[in-house]
C-alpha cells in the first residue's frame, strides 16, 4: 500500500492523480493525509515500556500493561501491544515445536531401553533443530552415533521436510557404516512413508521416543546444546550459505578434534572408528549386562523385536522427491557390517 500511494503522488502529466488512484485501488483522500508523529506523552510511555522490557524480556504486552498500571499509568493492553509492535519488541518464549506428528502415520516402539547399544553403530539418533539467521530460520538435521557421539551425517535446509532428513541419512551412509537401530522422535518427518520406507530398504530397525519424552533421545539433544553454545550463539549468520559453511566447519572439528567428556575425553572419531574404546556413554547398560558372556552381549545388543510385518510391503514404495535406490548388503561374518556408499539420486523409487 505504501508503494502504491507513492505511485499515486508521483508526478505524471499523462494521467491524472484521481485516475492513478482508481487504477491502483487507492483511496484518493488517504494520499492527502500526513500521519501525525507520536506526542511527548507517548514517547515517554514507549521509553517506560522499553525499560521494563530490558529488565524483563520474557514479559509480553499483558504483563507489561500490569507493570505500567503499577507505575500509575492509565493504559490498556491494546495500546501497549501496538507500541511494542511499533518498537519491534516481542517477549522471549519457546516458539517452535518441530515434533508435530501426523496421526495417520504409524508410530514404532522405543527399543533403546530394552536393547541398549554396546558398541559404535548399534544405534544412531536423529533429530531436527532450528537456527536463527538474519533473514529468518534454517533447519539442521543430524544423525549422531550414541556410543561415540560422532555426528555421522547432517544437512542444513530452509524448509522443514523429509528430504532434508534423507540427505542427512545419505551423508551418514557415505561413511561406509550402517546402524542396527535409528531412534527418532514422533515428528511427521520420521513417521512419513518416505523415511520409513528408506530405513526398511536398509534393513535398519526403527525406534521412536515416547510422547513428550525428550530424554529418550538425549544424545542428539546434548549434541544440539553443544552446537548452539559453542557455535551458533557466538555468531550472527547473515545468510544460509554462511551458516552452512560455519556449521560444516564446526561439526567436522567436533568429530575429529574436540575431546568429549561423555566418552572419557576421547575424540568422537576415535571411538567411532574403533581406535579407542569408550567406557561410558548415554544409555550405558547395567553392570550385569557388561559382565555377561559374549553371546549374551550379542543377543542384548542385537536381539531386536521383529516387526517386519509392520513395514511397507508394496515393492513399488512411496512416491517421494527424495527416494533412494536399494542398498546391497555386505555380510562380513560377525564383524561390524559396512555398506557401500549410496548415491541417493532423489528420483522416484523404482
Answer with the residue of higher pLDDT: 150 or 27.
150
- Mean pLDDT value across residues 252-265: 90
Name which of 177-181, 211-215, 297-301 the model is least confident about: 297-301
> Any idea which of 81-90, 99-108, 234-243, 246-255 has the lowest mean pLDDT?
99-108
Which pLDDT band holds residue 48 (cuts at 50, 70, 90)? very high
Q: Any idea what DSSP says for residue 111?
A: -
Please compute the mean of the pLDDT values over residues 265-271 and round it to a whole number: 91
Question: 5: pLDDT confidence band, cut at 50, 70 and 90?
Answer: confident
For the chain, the residue count is 350
**Are 45 and 189 contained in the same domain?**
no
Tell me, yes or no, whether 109 lies in a domain. no
Classify strands 151-157 and 136-145 as parallel, antiparallel or unpaired.
antiparallel
Per the structure, how many domains does the chain have?
Answer: 3
Considering only residues 23 and 120, tell me which one the structure prediction assigns the higher pLDDT. Answer: 120
Residue 67: what are its φ and ψ, rounded to 5°? -65, -40
- Domain contains 317: no
The answer to whether residue 192 is domain-embedded is yes
- Residue 172 C-alpha cell reads as 551418514
State yes or no: pLDDT of 252 exceeds 90. yes
Q: Are residues 183 and 76 in the same domain?
A: no
> In what order do the strands lie in the sheet containing 151-157?
151-157, 136-145, 123-133, 181-184, 205-208
What are the residues facing 266 on neighbouring strands? 260
**Average pLDDT score over residue span 162-172:** 94
- Quick check: is 341 in a domain? no
Q: Which domain holds residue 215?
A: 123-310
Lowest mean pLDDT among 9-13, 18-22, 190-194: 9-13
Higher pLDDT, 329 or 108: 108
> What would the pLDDT profile of 135-159 be if each residue is shown by its tens digit?
788 999 999 999 999 999 999 999 8
Q: Which residues contact 177 (CB under 8 A, 6 or more apart)?
A: 120, 121, 152, 272, 336, 338, 339
Residues 276 and 138 both lie in one domain? yes
Angstrom distance (rounded) from CA 255 to CA 253: 5
Q: Answer yes or no: do 181 and 278 share one domain.
A: yes
Query: Does pTM surpass 0.85?
Result: no
pLDDT at 7 exceeding the cut of 70: yes
Is there a single domain that holds both residue 182 and residue 248? Answer: yes
Query: Quick one: 75 and 161 in the same domain?
Result: no
Shared domain for 208 and 133, answered yes or no, is yes
How are beta strands 205-208 and 181-184 bridged, if at all? parallel
Which residue did the predictor score with more confidence, 12 or 296?
12
144 and 9 share a domain?
A: no
| Lowest pLDDT segment from 36-40, 223-227, 271-275, 329-333 | 329-333
Mean pLDDT of 80-93: 86
CA distance linking residue 198 with residue 185, whole number of Å: 17
Percent over 90 (pLDDT), the chain? 37
Q: What are phi and psi of 130, to 5 degrees?
A: -105, 150
The DSSP secondary structure of 216-275, one letter per residue, reads GGHHHHHHHHHHHHHTGGG----SHHHHHHHHHHHHHHHHHT--BGGGTTB-HHHHHTTS
Pairing of strands 181-184, 136-145: unpaired
Higher pLDDT, 279 or 64: 64
Amino acid at each position: 500500500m505504501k508503494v502504491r500511494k507513492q505511485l499515486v503522488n508521483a508526478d505524471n502529466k499523462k494521467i491524472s492523480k484521481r485516475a492513478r488512484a482508481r487504477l491502483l485501488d487507492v483511496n484518493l483522500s488517504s494520499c492527502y493525509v500526513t500521519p501525525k508523529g507520536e506526542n511527548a506523552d507517548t514517547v515517554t510511555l514507549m521509553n517506560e515500556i522499553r525499560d521494563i522490557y530490558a529488565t524483563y524480556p520474557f514479559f509480553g504486552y499483558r504483563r507489561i500493561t500490569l507493570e505500567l498500571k503499577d507505575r500509575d499509568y492509565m493504559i490498556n493492553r491494546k495500546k501497549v501491544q501496538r507500541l511494542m509492535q511499533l518498537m519491534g519488541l516481542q517477549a522471549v518464549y519457546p516458539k517452535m515445536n518441530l515434533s508435530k506428528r501426523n496421526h495417520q502415520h504409524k508410530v514404532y516402539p522405543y527399543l533403546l531401553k530394552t536393547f541398549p547399544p554396546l558398541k559404535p553403530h548399534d544405534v544412531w539418533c536423529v533429530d531436527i533443530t532450528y537456527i536463527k539467521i538474519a533473514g529468518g530460520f534454517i533447519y539442521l538435521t543430524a544423525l549422531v552415533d550414541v556410543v561415540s557421539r560422532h555426528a555421522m551425517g547432517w544437512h542444513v535446509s530452509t524448509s522443514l521436510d523429509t528430504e532434508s532428513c534423507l540427505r542427512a541419512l545419505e551423508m551418514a551412509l557415505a561413511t561406509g557404516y550402517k546402524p542396527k537401530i535409528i531412534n527418532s522422535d514422533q515428528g511427521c518427518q520420521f513417521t512419513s512413508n518416505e523415511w520409513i520406507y528408506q530405513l526398511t530398504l536398509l534393513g535398519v530397525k526403527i525406534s521412536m521416543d515416547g510422547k513428550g519424552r525428550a530424554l529418550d533421545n538425549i544424545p542428539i539433544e546434548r549434541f544440539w546444546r553443544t552446537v548452539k553454545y559453542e557455535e551458533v550463539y557466538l555468531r550472527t549468520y547473515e545468510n544460509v550459505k554462511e551458516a552452512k559453511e560455519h556449521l560444516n566447519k564446526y561439526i567436522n572439528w567436533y568429530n575429529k578434534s574436540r575431546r568429549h567428556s561423555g566418552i572419557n575425553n576421547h575424540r568422537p572419531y576415535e571411538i567411532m572408528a574403533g581406535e579407542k574404546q569408550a567406557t561410558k556413554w548415554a544409555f550405558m547398560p547395567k553392570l550385569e549386562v557388561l559382565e555377561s558372556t559374549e553371546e549374551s552381549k550379542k543377543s542384548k545388543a542385537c536381539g531386536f523385536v521383529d516387526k517386519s510385518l509392520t513395514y511397507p510391503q508394496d515393492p513399488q514404495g512411496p512416491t517421494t522427491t527424495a527416494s533412494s535406490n536399494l542398498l546391497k548388503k555386505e555380510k562380513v561374518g560377525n564383524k561390524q557390517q559396512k555398506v557401500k556408499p549410496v548415491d541417493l539420486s532423489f528420483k522416484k523409487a523404482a
